[in-house]
């Protein structure tokens, strides 16, 4: 497929004021692209790469969430075992109490 043909199709719809004409032009443009075997193959390759990336990202996200949950439980145990170091409801001069900080991390 020649790039000139694609450019002619593109120019015919891209600046349409009428939404219906624009959408029809876009549909024709996509049909033209998908009718070309090379373009269709390239698009399918890109879609497969995207799918693989999304799958890998989903697995990594799941692993990270599990590690955060484990950390949260470990940290909670440490807080429960720690001596009360608060002075006027603060910990080591910070405005957060142990309880407030654990409330913050409970949503993780």
Over the chain (108 residues), the average pLDDT of each successive run of 10 is: 82 88 90 89 95 96 95 88 63 53 61
Query: pLDDT value at position 4?
Result: 85
pTM for this structure? Answer: 0.50
Query: pLDDT value at position 82?
Result: 76
Query: pLDDT value at position 6?
Result: 84
**Within the chain, where are the H helices?**
3-13, 19-35, 37-81, 98-105
Contact (CB, 8 A) for 98 and 91:
yes
The Cα-based distances of 76 to 30, 71, 92, 106, 108 in angstroms read 55, 8, 18, 9, 12
Query: pLDDT value at position 59?
Result: 96
The Cα-based distances of 71 to 33, 76, 105 in angstroms read 50, 8, 10
Query: pLDDT value at position 68?
Result: 94
């Amino acid at each position: 497929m020649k790039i000139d043909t694609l450019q002619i199709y593109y120019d015919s719809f891209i600046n349409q004021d009428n939404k219906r004409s624009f959408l029809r032009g876009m549909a024709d443009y996509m049909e033209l692209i998908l009718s070309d075997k090379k373009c269709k193959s390239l698009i399918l390759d890109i879609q497969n790469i995207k799918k693989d990336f999304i799958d890998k990202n989903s697995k990594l996200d799941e692993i990270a969430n599990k590690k955060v949950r484990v950390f949260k439980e470990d940290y909670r145990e440490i807080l429960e075992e720690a001596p009360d170091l608060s002075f006027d409801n603060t910990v080591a001069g910070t405005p957060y109490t142990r309880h407030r900080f654990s409330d913050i991390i409970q949503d993780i």
